[in-house]
Amino acid sequence: MTTPPRVSLAETSHESAIELPAIGQGTWFMGEGLAPRADEVRALQQGLDLGLKLIDTAEMYGDGGAEEVVGKALRSRRDDAFLVSKVYPWNAGRDSAIAACERSLQRLGTDYLDLYLLHWPGGIPLDETLEAFERLRESGKIRRFGVSNFDIDDMQALNATPGGDECAVNQVLYHLGSRGIEHSLRPWQRDHGMPLMAYCPLAQAGRLRRQLLDHPEVTALAAERDLTPAQLLLAWAIRPVDGKRDVIAIPKAVQSQHVRDNAAALGASLDDDAMARLDAAFPAPAGKEPLDIV
Protein backbone atom coordinates (compact mmCIF):
# COMPACT_ATOMS: atom_id res chain seq x y z
CA MET A 1 0.00 0.00 0.00
CA THR A 2 1.36 3.39 -0.98
CA THR A 3 2.10 5.73 1.91
CA PRO A 4 0.10 8.96 1.58
CA PRO A 5 2.23 12.07 0.99
CA ARG A 6 3.36 13.72 4.19
CA VAL A 7 4.83 17.02 5.28
CA SER A 8 7.28 17.31 8.16
CA LEU A 9 7.14 19.86 10.95
CA ALA A 10 10.67 20.45 12.13
CA GLU A 11 12.02 19.42 15.50
CA THR A 12 11.92 22.19 18.10
CA SER A 13 13.79 22.55 21.36
CA HIS A 14 10.86 20.84 23.07
CA GLU A 15 9.15 18.68 20.43
CA SER A 16 10.33 15.96 18.09
CA ALA A 17 9.81 16.33 14.36
CA ILE A 18 6.42 15.10 13.22
CA GLU A 19 5.03 14.06 9.85
CA LEU A 20 1.47 14.95 8.88
CA PRO A 21 -0.67 13.99 5.88
CA ALA A 22 -0.43 16.65 3.17
CA ILE A 23 -4.21 17.19 3.28
CA GLY A 24 -6.03 18.09 6.46
CA GLN A 25 -9.46 19.49 7.33
CA GLY A 26 -10.53 23.12 7.52
CA THR A 27 -13.50 24.40 9.52
CA TRP A 28 -14.07 27.94 8.24
CA PHE A 29 -17.86 28.56 8.13
CA MET A 30 -18.59 25.59 10.41
CA GLY A 31 -20.66 26.29 13.49
CA GLU A 32 -22.54 29.10 11.75
CA GLY A 33 -25.78 27.30 10.94
CA LEU A 34 -24.95 26.82 7.26
CA ALA A 35 -25.23 23.06 7.79
CA PRO A 36 -26.55 21.01 10.72
CA ARG A 37 -23.85 20.73 13.37
CA ALA A 38 -24.34 16.98 13.48
CA ASP A 39 -23.37 16.80 9.80
CA GLU A 40 -20.28 18.92 10.42
CA VAL A 41 -19.28 16.68 13.32
CA ARG A 42 -19.74 13.55 11.22
CA ALA A 43 -17.72 15.04 8.37
CA LEU A 44 -14.75 15.75 10.62
CA GLN A 45 -14.94 12.28 12.15
CA GLN A 46 -15.15 10.73 8.69
CA GLY A 47 -12.09 12.71 7.66
CA LEU A 48 -10.18 11.38 10.66
CA ASP A 49 -11.24 7.84 9.73
CA LEU A 50 -9.85 8.42 6.22
CA GLY A 51 -6.50 9.71 7.47
CA LEU A 52 -7.06 13.48 7.39
CA LYS A 53 -5.50 13.90 10.80
CA LEU A 54 -4.94 17.64 10.95
CA ILE A 55 -7.98 19.75 11.88
CA ASP A 56 -7.64 23.52 11.65
CA THR A 57 -9.99 25.95 13.39
CA ALA A 58 -9.93 29.38 15.04
CA GLU A 59 -11.63 31.42 17.72
CA MET A 60 -12.82 33.68 14.87
CA TYR A 61 -14.74 30.97 13.00
CA GLY A 62 -18.40 31.22 13.92
CA ASP A 63 -17.38 33.25 16.99
CA GLY A 64 -16.16 30.03 18.57
CA GLY A 65 -18.86 27.87 17.01
CA ALA A 66 -16.40 25.99 14.80
CA GLU A 67 -14.29 25.11 17.83
CA GLU A 68 -17.39 23.71 19.50
CA VAL A 69 -18.08 21.54 16.44
CA VAL A 70 -14.50 20.28 16.49
CA GLY A 71 -14.77 19.57 20.21
CA LYS A 72 -17.79 17.36 19.60
CA ALA A 73 -16.03 15.58 16.75
CA LEU A 74 -13.02 14.83 18.96
CA ARG A 75 -14.95 13.63 21.97
CA SER A 76 -13.32 10.34 23.03
CA ARG A 77 -10.87 10.48 20.10
CA ARG A 78 -8.64 13.50 20.80
CA ASP A 79 -5.51 11.43 20.20
CA ASP A 80 -6.60 10.77 16.60
CA ALA A 81 -6.16 14.42 15.63
CA PHE A 82 -3.44 17.02 15.23
CA LEU A 83 -5.40 20.04 16.45
CA VAL A 84 -4.73 23.60 15.29
CA SER A 85 -6.45 26.79 16.41
CA LYS A 86 -5.77 30.49 15.99
CA VAL A 87 -5.89 33.60 18.16
CA TYR A 88 -7.12 37.03 17.06
CA PRO A 89 -4.27 39.57 16.79
CA TRP A 90 -5.93 41.79 19.40
CA ASN A 91 -6.08 38.83 21.79
CA ALA A 92 -2.39 38.03 21.32
CA GLY A 93 -1.03 40.01 24.26
CA ARG A 94 1.10 38.84 27.17
CA ASP A 95 -1.96 37.86 29.23
CA SER A 96 -4.83 38.11 26.74
CA ALA A 97 -3.39 35.28 24.62
CA ILE A 98 -3.40 33.02 27.68
CA ALA A 99 -7.06 33.81 28.32
CA ALA A 100 -7.98 33.38 24.64
CA CYS A 101 -6.28 30.00 24.49
CA GLU A 102 -8.09 28.88 27.63
CA ARG A 103 -11.42 29.81 26.05
CA SER A 104 -10.54 27.90 22.89
CA LEU A 105 -9.50 24.85 24.90
CA GLN A 106 -12.79 24.94 26.78
CA ARG A 107 -14.81 25.08 23.56
CA LEU A 108 -12.68 22.30 22.07
CA GLY A 109 -13.03 20.12 25.14
CA THR A 110 -9.29 19.45 25.36
CA ASP A 111 -6.43 20.48 27.60
CA TYR A 112 -3.91 21.18 24.84
CA LEU A 113 -3.44 22.28 21.23
CA ASP A 114 -0.89 20.69 18.96
CA LEU A 115 -0.40 24.03 17.22
CA TYR A 116 -1.54 27.57 18.06
CA LEU A 117 -1.35 30.28 15.40
CA LEU A 118 -1.43 34.07 15.46
CA HIS A 119 -4.26 34.60 12.96
CA TRP A 120 -2.71 37.64 11.23
CA PRO A 121 -0.20 40.39 12.05
CA GLY A 122 -1.53 42.96 14.48
CA GLY A 123 -0.54 45.85 16.69
CA ILE A 124 0.73 43.84 19.65
CA PRO A 125 4.54 43.46 19.56
CA LEU A 126 5.69 40.04 18.41
CA ASP A 127 7.92 39.57 21.44
CA GLU A 128 4.88 39.92 23.69
CA THR A 129 2.93 37.32 21.69
CA LEU A 130 5.90 34.96 21.69
CA GLU A 131 6.23 35.36 25.45
CA ALA A 132 2.59 34.32 25.83
CA PHE A 133 3.07 31.37 23.48
CA GLU A 134 6.09 30.23 25.50
CA ARG A 135 4.11 30.43 28.74
CA LEU A 136 1.36 28.37 27.11
CA ARG A 137 3.93 25.82 25.99
CA GLU A 138 5.54 25.63 29.41
CA SER A 139 2.14 24.98 30.99
CA GLY A 140 1.35 22.23 28.48
CA LYS A 141 -1.48 24.14 26.80
CA ILE A 142 0.20 24.21 23.38
CA ARG A 143 2.95 22.10 21.84
CA ARG A 144 3.99 24.33 18.95
CA PHE A 145 3.20 27.83 17.72
CA GLY A 146 2.90 29.33 14.27
CA VAL A 147 1.45 32.24 12.35
CA SER A 148 -1.07 32.91 9.60
CA ASN A 149 -1.30 35.54 6.85
CA PHE A 150 2.34 36.60 7.32
CA ASP A 151 4.15 37.87 4.22
CA ILE A 152 7.91 37.63 3.81
CA ASP A 153 8.66 40.88 5.65
CA ASP A 154 6.49 39.71 8.55
CA MET A 155 8.29 36.34 8.56
CA GLN A 156 11.70 38.03 8.57
CA ALA A 157 10.66 40.21 11.50
CA LEU A 158 9.36 37.16 13.35
CA ASN A 159 12.54 35.22 12.66
CA ALA A 160 14.60 38.10 14.04
CA THR A 161 12.61 38.13 17.30
CA PRO A 162 14.00 35.94 20.09
CA GLY A 163 12.19 32.60 19.94
CA GLY A 164 10.65 33.38 16.57
CA ASP A 165 12.85 30.86 14.81
CA GLU A 166 10.79 28.07 16.38
CA CYS A 167 7.70 29.06 14.39
CA ALA A 168 6.32 25.80 13.00
CA VAL A 169 4.22 26.96 10.03
CA ASN A 170 2.74 29.93 8.22
CA GLN A 171 -0.85 29.48 7.06
CA VAL A 172 -1.71 31.49 3.96
CA LEU A 173 -4.20 31.56 1.11
CA TYR A 174 -2.82 29.44 -1.71
CA HIS A 175 -4.36 27.81 -4.75
CA LEU A 176 -3.76 27.47 -8.48
CA GLY A 177 -5.37 30.84 -9.15
CA SER A 178 -3.39 32.63 -6.43
CA ARG A 179 0.31 31.83 -6.72
CA GLY A 180 1.87 35.05 -5.42
CA ILE A 181 3.62 33.35 -2.50
CA GLU A 182 5.78 31.38 -4.94
CA HIS A 183 7.92 34.41 -5.76
CA SER A 184 9.53 35.12 -2.39
CA LEU A 185 7.55 33.86 0.61
CA ARG A 186 7.53 30.15 -0.21
CA PRO A 187 11.24 30.07 -1.16
CA TRP A 188 12.12 31.87 2.09
CA GLN A 189 10.13 29.36 4.11
CA ARG A 190 11.69 26.43 2.26
CA ASP A 191 15.14 27.85 3.03
CA HIS A 192 14.14 27.94 6.70
CA GLY A 193 12.59 24.48 6.72
CA MET A 194 9.12 25.84 7.49
CA PRO A 195 6.06 24.33 5.78
CA LEU A 196 3.04 26.24 4.56
CA MET A 197 -0.57 25.50 5.38
CA ALA A 198 -2.77 26.40 2.43
CA TYR A 199 -6.22 27.72 3.24
CA CYS A 200 -8.81 28.07 0.48
CA PRO A 201 -6.92 25.52 -1.66
CA LEU A 202 -10.05 25.22 -3.81
CA ALA A 203 -10.52 29.00 -4.04
CA GLN A 204 -13.56 28.63 -1.80
CA ALA A 205 -14.33 32.34 -1.68
CA GLY A 206 -16.21 34.40 -4.26
CA ARG A 207 -16.49 34.09 -8.03
CA LEU A 208 -13.00 32.74 -8.45
CA ARG A 209 -14.14 29.37 -7.17
CA ARG A 210 -16.48 28.93 -10.10
CA GLN A 211 -13.88 30.27 -12.51
CA LEU A 212 -11.22 27.90 -11.22
CA LEU A 213 -13.25 24.72 -10.82
CA ASP A 214 -14.96 25.30 -14.17
CA HIS A 215 -11.85 26.39 -16.07
CA PRO A 216 -11.60 24.38 -19.33
CA GLU A 217 -8.02 23.24 -18.70
CA VAL A 218 -8.81 22.20 -15.12
CA THR A 219 -11.90 20.24 -16.13
CA ALA A 220 -10.14 18.64 -19.09
CA LEU A 221 -7.10 17.55 -17.09
CA ALA A 222 -9.29 16.23 -14.29
CA ALA A 223 -11.40 14.18 -16.70
CA GLU A 224 -8.32 12.75 -18.41
CA ARG A 225 -6.97 11.58 -15.06
CA ASP A 226 -10.25 10.35 -13.57
CA LEU A 227 -10.21 13.08 -10.93
CA THR A 228 -12.73 15.69 -9.91
CA PRO A 229 -11.62 19.28 -10.56
CA ALA A 230 -11.33 19.75 -6.79
CA GLN A 231 -9.05 16.71 -6.51
CA LEU A 232 -6.88 18.07 -9.30
CA LEU A 233 -6.54 21.39 -7.47
CA LEU A 234 -5.65 19.65 -4.20
CA ALA A 235 -3.08 17.47 -5.95
CA TRP A 236 -1.58 20.64 -7.44
CA ALA A 237 -1.52 22.46 -4.09
CA ILE A 238 0.39 19.67 -2.33
CA ARG A 239 2.65 18.79 -5.27
CA PRO A 240 6.33 18.30 -4.50
CA VAL A 241 8.67 21.08 -5.60
CA ASP A 242 12.23 19.97 -6.33
CA GLY A 243 11.33 16.64 -4.79
CA LYS A 244 10.13 18.06 -1.49
CA ARG A 245 6.60 18.52 -0.17
CA ASP A 246 6.12 21.57 2.02
CA VAL A 247 2.38 22.37 1.76
CA ILE A 248 -0.48 21.03 3.86
CA ALA A 249 -3.82 21.88 2.24
CA ILE A 250 -6.82 22.29 4.53
CA PRO A 251 -10.06 22.16 2.50
CA LYS A 252 -13.34 22.28 4.36
CA ALA A 253 -15.99 19.66 3.58
CA VAL A 254 -19.32 18.75 5.10
CA GLN A 255 -20.82 16.44 2.48
CA SER A 256 -19.64 12.87 2.86
CA GLN A 257 -18.63 12.52 -0.79
CA HIS A 258 -16.52 15.65 -0.60
CA VAL A 259 -14.70 14.28 2.43
CA ARG A 260 -13.99 11.04 0.56
CA ASP A 261 -12.83 12.98 -2.50
CA ASN A 262 -10.47 15.10 -0.41
CA ALA A 263 -8.94 12.04 1.21
CA ALA A 264 -8.61 10.29 -2.14
CA ALA A 265 -6.69 13.30 -3.49
CA LEU A 266 -3.79 12.19 -1.30
CA GLY A 267 -3.29 9.42 -3.84
CA ALA A 268 -3.36 11.69 -6.89
CA SER A 269 -0.23 12.90 -8.64
CA LEU A 270 0.30 15.19 -11.58
CA ASP A 271 2.71 14.34 -14.38
CA ASP A 272 4.91 16.82 -16.24
CA ASP A 273 2.32 17.33 -18.96
CA ALA A 274 -0.39 18.25 -16.47
CA MET A 275 1.95 20.64 -14.67
CA ALA A 276 2.98 22.31 -17.91
CA ARG A 277 -0.61 22.83 -18.99
CA LEU A 278 -1.62 24.23 -15.60
CA ASP A 279 1.41 26.54 -15.57
CA ALA A 280 0.42 27.81 -19.01
CA ALA A 281 -3.16 28.48 -17.90
CA PHE A 282 -2.20 29.92 -14.50
CA PRO A 283 1.39 31.23 -14.71
CA ALA A 284 3.61 31.56 -11.69
CA PRO A 285 4.22 35.17 -10.61
CA ALA A 286 6.91 37.12 -12.41
CA GLY A 287 7.47 39.42 -9.43
CA LYS A 288 6.52 40.04 -5.82
CA GLU A 289 2.76 40.33 -5.30
CA PRO A 290 0.82 41.47 -2.23
CA LEU A 291 -0.17 38.61 0.03
CA ASP A 292 -3.63 37.33 -0.92
CA ILE A 293 -5.95 37.31 2.10
CA VAL A 294 -9.63 36.47 2.48
244-267 tens-digit pLDDT: 999 999 999 999 999 999 999 999
First to last CA, the chain: 38
Predicted confidence (pLDDT) at residue 207 exceeds the cutoff of 90: no
Catalytic residue among 61, 116, 174, 199: 61
**Mean pLDDT computed over every residue of the chain:** 96
Question: Coil, strand or helix: which one is 5?
Answer: coil
Average pLDDT over residues 87-116: 98
Examine the pLDDT at 130 and tell me if it is beyond 60: yes
Check if 199 is active-site. Answer: no
Q: Is 27 exposed, middle or buried (0-12, 13-18, 19+ CB in 10 A)?
A: buried
Q: Which whole number is the average pLDDT over 87-105?
A: 98
Residue 89, pLDDT score: 98
Instruction: Convert 54-75 to b/e letters by CB count within 10 Å (16 or more is b).
Output: bbbbbbbbbebbbbbbbbbbbe
pLDDT per position as a tens digit, 140-161:
999 999 999 999 999 999 999 9
Q: What is the pLDDT of residue 148?
A: 98
Q: What pLDDT does 262 receive?
A: 98
Question: Is the pLDDT assigned to residue 224 strictly greater than 70?
Answer: yes
Q: What percent of the chain has pLDDT over 70?
A: 98
Report the phi/psi class of residue 80: left, alpha or beta, with left for phi > 0 and alpha for psi in -120 to 50. alpha
Confidence (pLDDT) at 204: 76
Q: Residue 211: which pLDDT band, with cuts at 50, 70 and 90?
A: confident
Global pTM? Answer: 0.97
Q: What is the pLDDT of residues 14-64, one digit of tens each?
A: 999 999 999 999 999 999 999 999 999 999 999 999 999 999 999 999 999
Question: 283 pLDDT exceeds 90?
Answer: yes
